[in-house]
């Protein structure tokens, strides 16, 4: 049997999909290269934006067509849109199964080890000999991922979120913030490095809150890791440099838990890359309070300045929501001015849309007209393009170290340590290799270059 996984959303979902693939390959499934060739489809969903949810609910026609082509096709859905693990055969369904009867199974990602049981519910003829280990039912992090890229891997270090931003559904779908044991993370990273990983990205909803949540403190497991368990974890992983690890990244940190100890640690480590994605969401304190972000504009700016003081040239990107409930023209102007001042390297801008079940959907008014949200998005996007182009042009003439992840013929694409996408040509096979590239030109969202002489 063949499987195909369609992943939406963030790095956490990419990493989760690798664990789903790990389970399926253990059950005897093989990966299909096209959706049409699969007998089992998994949609790993994102709930951050209405658009992301619409992409899934808009699939109905296509799924019906695929069902007509393959009567035995089974379809599962997981990720942030799912609250209940169930199948069409269980009495109490996740509500998405009622809205989309083409789906057979819904599972919370934390319950992925129950997939064999759910598949057998919808097809009793299926026989699986190698079932997931016992421990993976309680702790899905114990599932070995099927890596899509051996030289650059994602490693989840926590799940859930306690931050309760008023617009976000994650705390309700993923549940309470819980961190993974440090020894388990170090063991997994060591295995990846021994298998050839040069770059590791630690992922979690608020990755720098590692070990600090209510559940973590109650467990007592992180008591010995000091005031910043995340800094302790980074120091432990940095020691993998000796085994071949060259780059350590993490996404996404929450400004509230960006302590001085963590910033000082970043400055010390050999593997840490000069790129941080730190969501700000708004440049206005009143909006930030309505969003329940728990920091103010000055605090965010201070953290950014401190990071750039200890890691000179550190690229910083962010997320901004425009048109949040009650956002006035003046509040938006504050965000615009903050962008002009901080000049983020990149920004993911979204228009606010209420997510069902969140505080903002239930208790605040989505009162910014769609046309105003559009106008604000376009204005900010124009500024983003202008600043990104200037930042890219500043790299012309520099030599950047690039980890190659794509090569089609002689066209190579990879990322620099600053997370800039770099395009260049080479006749040699370079996927998974670190090479030096001389930057010769810049485009809106990537850089052009040629292999530097130092590689030969």
Rule CB under 6 A: say whether 171 interacts with ligand SF4.
yes
Task: Supply 455's token pair.
Answer: 């590689």
Of 100-108, 135-143, 168-176, 357-365: span binding ligand SF4 (CB under 6 A): 168-176
H helices of 315-401, where? Answer: 329-342, 359-363, 370-393
Apex 304 CA angle, 300 and 306, nearest 5: 115
Q: Which is nearer to ligand SF4, 151 or 213 (CB)?
A: 213
Of 17-25, 160-168, 220-228, 328-336: span binding ligand SF4 (CB under 6 A): 160-168
Give the nearest distance from C-beta 157 to ligand SF4 in angstroms. Answer: 14
Rule CB under 6 A: say whether 161 interacts with ligand SF4.
yes
Identify the residue among 26, 108, 147, 163 touching ligand SF4 (CB under 6 A). Answer: 163
Q: Which is nearer to ligand SF4, 21 or 203 (CB)?
A: 203
Identify the residue among 52, 165, 322, 325 touching ligand SF4 (CB under 6 A). Answer: 165
CA 352 to centroid of chain Cα atoms: 19
Rule CB under 6 A: say whether 41 interacts with ligand SF4.
no
Rule CB under 6 A: say whether 316 interacts with ligand SF4.
no
Q: Which is nearer to ligand SF4, 17 or 350 (CB)?
A: 350
Rule CB under 6 A: say whether 108 interacts with ligand SF4.
no
Phi, psi of 106 (to 5 degrees): -125, 135
Q: Which is nearer to ligand SF4, 205 or 251 (CB)?
A: 205
Q: Which is nearer to ligand SF4, 266 or 288 (CB)?
A: 288
Cα–Cα distance measured from residue 342 to residue 301, given in angstroms and rounded to the nearest whole number:
8
Q: What share of the chain is helix, strand, coil (3-state, %, to 5)?
A: 40, 20, 40
3-class SS at 257?
A: helix
Give the nearest distance from C-beta 352 to ligand SF4 in angstroms. Answer: 12
Cα–Cα distance measured from residue 200 to residue 403, given in angstroms and rounded to the nearest whole number:
12
Number of shown-chain residues binding ligand SF4 (CB under 6 A): 10
Q: Which is nearer to ligand SF4, 132 or 283 (CB)?
A: 283
Contacts of range 407-415, beta carbons closer than 8 Å, 24 or more positions apart: 407/431, 413/446
Q: First vs last Cα of the chain: how many Å apart?
A: 45
Identify the residue among 254, 290, 351, 376 touching ligand SF4 (CB under 6 A). Answer: 254
Whether 197 and 149 have beta carbons less than 8 Å apart is answered as no
Q: Considering only residues 192-211, where is the footprint of ligand SF4 by CB under 6 A?
A: 205-206
Rule CB under 6 A: say whether 168 interacts with ligand SF4.
yes
Q: Which is nearer to ligand SF4, 31 or 256 (CB)?
A: 256
Residues in the chain: 456
State the chain's maximal CA–CA distance in angstroms. 65
Of 158-166, 257-265, 324-332, 372-380: span binding ligand SF4 (CB under 6 A): 158-166
Cα–Cα distance measured from residue 121 to residue 91, given in angstroms and rounded to the nearest whole number:
12
Q: Which is nearer to ligand SF4, 292 or 438 (CB)?
A: 292
DSSP state for residue 213 in the 8-state scheme: S
**DSSP assignments along 292-317, one per residue:** T-S--HHHHHHHHHHHHHHSTT-EEE
Rule CB under 6 A: say whether 159 interacts with ligand SF4.
no
- Which residues of the shown chain bind ligand SF4 in the complex (CB under 6 A)? 161, 163-165, 168, 170-171, 205-206, 254
């Amino acid at each position: 049997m063949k499987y195909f996984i369609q992943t939406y959303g963030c790095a956490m979902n990419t990493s989760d999909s690798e664990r789903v693939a790990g389970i399926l390959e253990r059950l005897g499934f093989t990966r299909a290269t096209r959706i049409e060739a699969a007998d089992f489809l998994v949609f790993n969903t994102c709930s951050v934006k209405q658009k992301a949810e619409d992409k899934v609910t808009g699939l109905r026609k296509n799924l019906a067509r695929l069902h007509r082509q393959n009567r035995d096709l089974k379809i599962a859905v997981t990720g942030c849109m799912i609250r209940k693990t169930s199948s069409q055969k269980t009495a109490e369904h996740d509500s998405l199964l009622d809205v989309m009867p083409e789906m057979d199974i819904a599972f919370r990602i934390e319950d992925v080890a129950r997939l064999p049981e759910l598949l057998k519910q919808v097809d009793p003829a299926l026989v699986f000999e190698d079932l997931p280990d016992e421990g993976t039912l309680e702790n899905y992090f114990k599932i070995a991922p099927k890596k899509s890229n051996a030289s650059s891997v994602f490693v989840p270090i926590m799940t859930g979120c306690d931050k309760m931003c008023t617009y976000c559904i994650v705390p309700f779908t993923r549940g309470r913030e819980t961190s993974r044991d440090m020894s388990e993370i170090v063991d997994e990273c060591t295995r990846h490095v021994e298998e050839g990983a040069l770059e590791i990205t630690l992922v979690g909803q608020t990755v720098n809150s590692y070990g600090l949540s209510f559940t973590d403190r109650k467990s007592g497991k992180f008591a010995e890791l000091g005031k910043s368990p995340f800094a302790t974890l980074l120091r432990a992983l940095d020691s993998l440099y000796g085994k071949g690890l060259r780059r350590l990244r993490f996404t996404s940190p929450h400004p509230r838990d960006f302590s001085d100890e963590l910033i000082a640690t970043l400055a010390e480590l050999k593997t840490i890359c000069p790129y941080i994605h730190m969501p700000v969401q708004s440049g206005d304190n009143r909006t930030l309070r309505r969003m329940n972000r728990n920091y103010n504009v000055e605090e965010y700016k201070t953290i950014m300045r401190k990071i750039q003081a200890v890691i000179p040239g550190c690229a910083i990107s962010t997320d901004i929501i425009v048109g949040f409930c009650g956002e006035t023209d003046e509040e938006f102007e504050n965000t615009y001015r903050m962008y002009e001042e901080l000049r983020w390297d990149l920004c993911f801008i979204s228009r606010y849309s209420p997510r069902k079940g969140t505080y903002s959907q239930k208790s605040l008014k989505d009162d910014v007209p769609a046309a105003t949200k559009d106008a604000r998005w376009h204005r900010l996007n124009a500024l983003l393009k202008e600043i990104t182009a200037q930042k890219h042009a500043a790299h012309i003439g520099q030599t950047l170290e690039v980890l190659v992840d794509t090569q089609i013929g002689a066209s190579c694409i990879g990322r620099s340590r600053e997370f800039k996408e770099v395009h260049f040509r080479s006749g040699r096979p370079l996927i998974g290799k670190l090479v030096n590239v001389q930057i010769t030109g810049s485009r809106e969202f990537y850089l052009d270059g040629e292999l530097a002489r130092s590689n030969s």
